[in-house]
Structure 1
Amino acid sequence: MFRSIYFILLILAVTFCKDQTQKSNMQNNASERLNFESGYSNVNGLKMYYEIYGKGKPIVLIHGGGSTIQTSFEKIIPLLAKNRKVIAVELQAHGRTSDRDADLSFEQDAVDVFTLLNNLKIEKSDFLGFSNGGTTSLQIAIKHPNIVNKLILCSALAKRNGVPDWFWGFMQKAKLENMPKQLKEGYEKVAQDKSGMQTMHDKDAKRMLNFKDISDDKIQTIKVPTLIIIGDKDIITPEHAIELHRQISNSRLSIIPGGHGEYIGEVTTISSDFKEENLVVPMIEKFLNAEIN
């Protein structure tokens, strides 16, 4: 009798594990099967790559430094695309987008995104920028406020004092071999010219070393509804996020448990215990769906 019970429990346990594995595989496969259109657009001397998912009100996703669409946003795109049109871009020298004979700048990235949206006939959109993409999103809201509906700044930097002092010393010694493995693999997976990784790395590092504060006056011109998000173990300091919140009059601030981009499932933060329910997409959706005052 006890042997029979043991085998029944064993079968149930094996079946449960198998079902959980199949469920996980089905979720991963569903993400891979997500329908989207992609293309290149002629943008200020670049062949700029973009992907479009879903239908509805548009939201533009702008990735972090050294990243691609997938390394920054692969986890949240399927969730956002259930309810809206997601337009994800790759900036100069990143991923599938070509380079130009010029240094990177957040101001130029803002112009490039503006031009791309004109080419795609997107007149107005919500914007979500992560890390460097958050700084670019700030520049878009400052320089092109008429195209911004709502703004989501994920771990965005506006002032040099917004990160610990050690960060600038780290950037002075930045080398390609120290670039996170996940970002290297993400670049190699999609880039046509694999040798471009060194150029991307060096231009990203140079841009950060030459980073200049966005003035208070410019930040205070941002009037669109804005959601500011950082992790409690982020590179961006809580003090910096609070100051941004104070300077952007129509803003909300959320400090989420976790590291730099962990709350959106950025690739370098993914661990074995990753759970989709820990992502902040429901909070983002609530913010985007709220009526504008």
Structure 2
Amino acid sequence: MKRITLLWFTTTIFLGLLVSCVHTPVKQAQESSRKDSLSGKALPASATGYADVNGLKMYYEVYGKGKPLVLLHGSYMTIPLNWSNIIPYFTDRKVIVAEMQGHGRTRDISRKISYESMADDVSGLLKHLKIDSADILGYSMGGGIAYQLAIRHPDQVRRLIVLSGSYRHDGWWPDVEKMYSTINADMFKGSPIEKQYDSLGNDPKHFPEFVKKVIQIDLEPYDWSKEVKAIKAPLFQIIGDADGIRYEHALELYTALGGGKMGDIHGLPKSRLAIVPGTTHIGIMYRMDWLTPMINDFLDSDLNTAPPTF
């Protein structure tokens, strides 16, 4: 198949992640030891291992101490590719990162990949780590997993942050949704995603199967509108103004969870919404210097909804 152009890549969701790996320091993203982008110091994991959950041996890493924060990666990604440059921003928290079914060091099993099953796996990981409740941050595919975790295992979710994720298949712009059916393994030839798949011990012969199996989750219509609007955990949605997620999609949920009113009169809702300027679906992962203060404020706030007094 003719190789896809770079311009086309930048309009995609998952293949766009490949471009971000190419245009940012690939070596830094692939290092097994995390480096603090400010100090250059290595950030060693305090724990690594495999959790036996739902017939899966899920690979995970834990960093730091404090309130637990779980980071859920996007499609085709791994801990090094998705989170190496992000973990140092949360040094005052216990950061838990894991690789989903078939990704990285978590070997695939004879089970359909779905948002629901991956959410159950994350629930099992938290039980394995003896963590009753955690803050959850999911990016792209990880955002869908985060939504399902809050739906299926609400007691395990304290607060929820979704970066560029959807709760309904048409939450993506129509051209993005239409494009999913064209994604195949040939498009990843020689990419960091393919190379990491091979280097982490997976059989290269199964890479085409892996690509097809993962994209299948977005080829089948889904709609969790009713369920997410009943989520009790405070939710912070963050999208870019040039994202693959439609503004109306994010706004619909924000409004359902108490937004869409003047806070000076009615008080602030427990949930939040941010549309980041000059930012794409890929680029949102490189806005952490902007996003971290907002995320920490959300996680640490007492979420007093009363309007201010003068």
TM-score range, shorter chain: 0.7 to 0.9
Q: Distance in 2 between matches of 1:111 and 1:263?
A: 27
The answer to whether 1:46 aligns with 2:56 is: yes
Q: CA RMSD of the aligned region, Å?
A: 2.2
Is the Cα–Cα contact under 8 Å of residues 51 and 125 in structure 2 kept in the other structure?
yes
Equivalent residue for 1:247? 256
Q: Distance in 1 between matches of 2:207 and 2:71?
A: 22
Equivalent residue for 1:15? none
Distance 1:100 1:126, change over 3 A: same
SS in 2 for 1:86: strand
Residue 164 of structure 1, CA deviation: 1.9
Equivalent residue for 2:122? 113
Segments of structure 2 that go 5 or more residues without pairing to the other structure are 1-27, 29-34, 259-269, 305-310
SS in 1 for 2:127: helix
SS in 1 for 2:43: coil
Counterpart of 2:97 (choices 88, 97, 100) is 88
Is the Cα–Cα contact under 8 Å of residues 152 and 227 in structure 1 kept in the other structure?
yes
Give the 5 Å matches for 1:120-199. 120-179=129-188, 181-199=191-209
Counterpart of 2:88 (choices 78, 95, 98) is 78
Give the 5 Å matches for 1:229-244. 229-244=238-253
Residue 96 of structure 1, CA deviation: 0.7
Stretches of 4+ aligned residues off by more than 4 angstroms: 26-32
SS in 2 for 1:93: coil
Distance 1:212 1:286, change over 3 A: same
TM-superposition CA deviations, 1:179-223 (whole Å, max 9, x none): 483433443443443444323211111111013111x32112112
Q: Distance in 1 between matches of 2:198 and 2:239?
A: 28
Q: Distance in 2 between matches of 1:197 and 1:61?
A: 24
Higher share of residues assigned helix? 1
Equivalent residue for 1:264? 285
Q: Distance in 2 between matches of 1:164 and 1:276?
A: 24
Is the Cα–Cα contact under 8 Å of residues 264 and 280 in structure 1 kept in the other structure?
no
Segments of structure 1 that go 5 or more residues without pairing to the other structure are 1-23, 266-274
SS in 2 for 1:240: helix
Residue 57 of structure 1, CA deviation: 0.3
Equivalent residue for 1:7? none
SS in 1 for 2:280: coil
Is the Cα–Cα contact under 8 Å of residues 219 and 247 in structure 1 kept in the other structure?
no
Residue 276 of structure 1, CA deviation: 6.4
SS in 2 for 1:213: coil
Is the Cα–Cα contact under 8 Å of residues 119 and 146 in structure 2 kept in the other structure?
yes
Q: Distance in 2 between matches of 1:43 and 1:212?
A: 25
Equivalent residue for 1:222? 231
Is the Cα–Cα contact under 8 Å of residues 40 and 48 in structure 1 kept in the other structure?
yes
TM-superposition CA deviations, 1:137-184 (whole Å, max 9, x none): 001111111111110011111112211222233111211122483433
Counterpart of 2:75 (choices 59, 65, 83) is 65
SS in 2 for 1:232: strand
SS in 2 for 1:203: helix
Q: Which amino acid aligns with 1:212?
A: Y
Equivalent residue for 1:102? 111
Q: Distance in 2 between matches of 1:220 and 1:50?
A: 30
Distance 1:175 1:128, change over 3 A: same
Question: What TM-score, normalized to structure 2?
Answer: 0.77
Distance 1:114 1:30, change over 3 A: same
Q: Distance in 2 between matches of 1:99 and 1:121?
A: 24
Q: Which amino acid aligns with 2:203?
A: D
Question: What TM-score, normalized to structure 1?
Answer: 0.81
Distance 1:186 1:290, change over 3 A: farther
Is the Cα–Cα contact under 8 Å of residues 185 and 208 in structure 2 kept in the other structure?
yes
Distance 1:233 1:179, change over 3 A: farther
Identity of aligned residues (%): 37
Structure with greater Cα Rg: 1
Equivalent residue for 1:200? 210
Residue 31 of structure 1, CA deviation: 5.6
